[in-house]
Amino acid sequence: MTKTNNLTEGNILEALFKLAIPIMGTSFVQIAYNMTDMIWVGRVGSRAVAAVGTAGFFTWLAMAFILIPKIGAEVGVAQSIGKEDMDEAKVYVKHSIQIIICLAIFYAFILITFRKPLIGFFNLGEEDIINNAITYLVIISCGLVFYFINPVFTAIFNGYGESKTPFIINTVGLIVNIILDPLLILGIGPFPRLEVAGAAIATVIAQATVTIIFITRTRKTELFSGLNLLRCPDMTHIRKIVKLGLPVSLQSGLFTIFAMVIARIIAQWGPIPIAVQKVGSQIEAVSWMTAGGFQTAMSAFVGQNYGAKKWPRVFRGYFVGITIMSIIGIFTTGLLIFAARPLFSIFIPEEESIRYGIVYLRILGLSQLFMCIESTTAGAFNGLGKTIPPSIVGILFNGLRIPAALILSSTSLGLNGVWWAISISSIFKGIVLSTWYIVMLKRNPETKGLKLLSLKLN
């Protein structure tokens, strides 16, 4: 392990920033992917946005499958590097890639085979929206192996402590997507106007580009040397990876299913609220994906220090991380509340959609600080290999969104009751999960006597 990849020594704040900034940059790249699609599809109209947003639930659901090997690779590699066991790290790399390829093929087959009933679940009631959603879903499914494997490559490099590489590679994919989107969606120059289909094709080409560059880069990295994907997997390591990733996967899958039910509730107000929720969630993702990026950095940092048995750094690193993300959360709250109109109007120029979008962003803006705290804490739990507590909290409060949305939307709040149900649940998740982690630290014999102010940043 090189000094650059070593998170078990040196200044904690500096180590976290060096690791986290490229990871957060990668998260912003993912936001930009979706935002680019929404900006150009939004020029086609709200109905096109509703189609892409509806089909997008199933790529969102795909994260439930991706997270099993992703978390397994991230935590397994980080802890192995902390123990200075490169051979064990390579085993996690091989098994994670084998698992993700199999899952990608399986999920793509399901989406293509059952495309009509899957889209039909949402009761869209508009034939053109339904057909566009099915078209988008099928095209994306044909390139799903690239969509699946890129996050696992990213997780492997992040766990190794080399977060700049996936940032650069994913940025190249973003540039490809930015170039292709207007060409294929609007039909600029010699290109045909493909609208929703064009957005899907651009995404698949961009993701495939990223995969090719990742494969090229692995040949120059020690972590991938001697990798033989055709060798039969070891069931012991398969079980370890599944044990680490399954709770997070289950949380993600149920989160998406709950979101689908919420979308069905929203659909009774028509296609505009569906489009507003999709676009609004992309804008909110500025903090959500930033927090997710820092969650990954926290997981790698805690994982390496846990593997090296350096509990004071685990303890101090968590509170340094919470401080950083609290600042970001407060800033995002102000941004969503006070700049709601200009932010939303970037995506959909229709005045009625903008009015709905302003209310959405202001209500969701109130929960951004707590969402950042929740994500950072989940990363700390994951780094310790304790992936169950964040999953329990996430599943519980995400599930409560459905009855809360039904109850609040039946009052004078109407559609706004749905937005309040989402925001309030995020606030509770942040409070409960951070409290759980702090109590665990106080009860842990290795950290019980530690005091925050008495610890140095090294």
Q: Which residues contact 358 (CB under 8 A, 6 or more apart)?
A: 340, 341, 344
In the structure, what pLDDT confidence band is assigned to residue 205 with cuts at 50, 70 and 90?
very high
pLDDT of 165 over the 80 cut: yes
Please indicate, yes or no, if residue 1 is contained in any of the structural domains.
no
Average pLDDT for 345-367: 84
pLDDT of residue 369: 93
- Mean pLDDT confidence for 290-301: 84
> Does pLDDT of 287 surpass 80?
no
Q: Look at residue 435 and tell me whether its pLDDT is greater than 80.
A: yes
Q: pLDDT at position 161, please?
A: 80
What is the spatial distance between Cα 414 and Cα 409, in angstroms, rounded to a whole number? 4
Q: What is the pLDDT of residue 55?
A: 86
d(CA 248, CA 428): 18
C-alpha distances in angstroms, 302 versus 291, 345, 395? 16, 40, 23
Residue 320 lies in a domain: yes
What is the pLDDT averaged over residues 91-109? 93
Say whether pLDDT at 425 is over 60.
Answer: yes
**Predicted confidence (pLDDT) per residue in 305-339, tens digit:** 888 888 888 888 899 999 989 998 999 899 889 98
**Residue 457 binned pLDDT confidence (cut-offs 50, 70, 90):** low
| Region of residue 286 (left: phi > 0; alpha: psi -120 to 50; beta: else) | alpha
Supply the pLDDT for residue 97: 92
**At a CB cut-off of 8 Å and minimum separation 6, what does 120 contact?**
130
pLDDT tens for each residue of 372-385: 999 999 999 998 88
Confidence of residue 38 (pLDDT cuts 50, 70, 90): confident
Any domain includes 338: yes
Lowest mean pLDDT among 19-33, 124-138, 335-349: 19-33
pLDDT at 294: 83
Residue 196 belongs to what domain range?
Answer: 12-454
Q: Is the pLDDT of residue 2 over 60?
A: no
Structural domain total, the chain: 1
Asked, for residue 5, whether it belongs to a domain, the answer is no
Where does the pLDDT of residue 142 fall: very low under 50, low under 70, confident under 90, or very high at 90 and above? very high
Q: Which pLDDT score, from 0 to 100, does residue 456 have?
A: 56
- State residue 452's pLDDT score: 58
Q: Please tell me which residue, 347 or 415, carries the higher pLDDT value.
A: 415
Is residue 34 assigned to a domain? yes
- Which pLDDT does position 254 carry in this prediction? 86
220 part of a folded domain = yes
Query: Is position 6 within any domain?
Result: no
**pLDDT number for residue 103:** 94
Query: Given a cut of 70, is residue 292 above it in pLDDT?
Result: yes
Q: pLDDT at residue 454 above 60?
A: no
Average pLDDT of the residues in 408-412: 88
Examine residue 3 and state whether it is found in any structural domain, yes or no: no
The residue type at 202? A
Distance in Å from the first CA to the final CA of the chain: 19
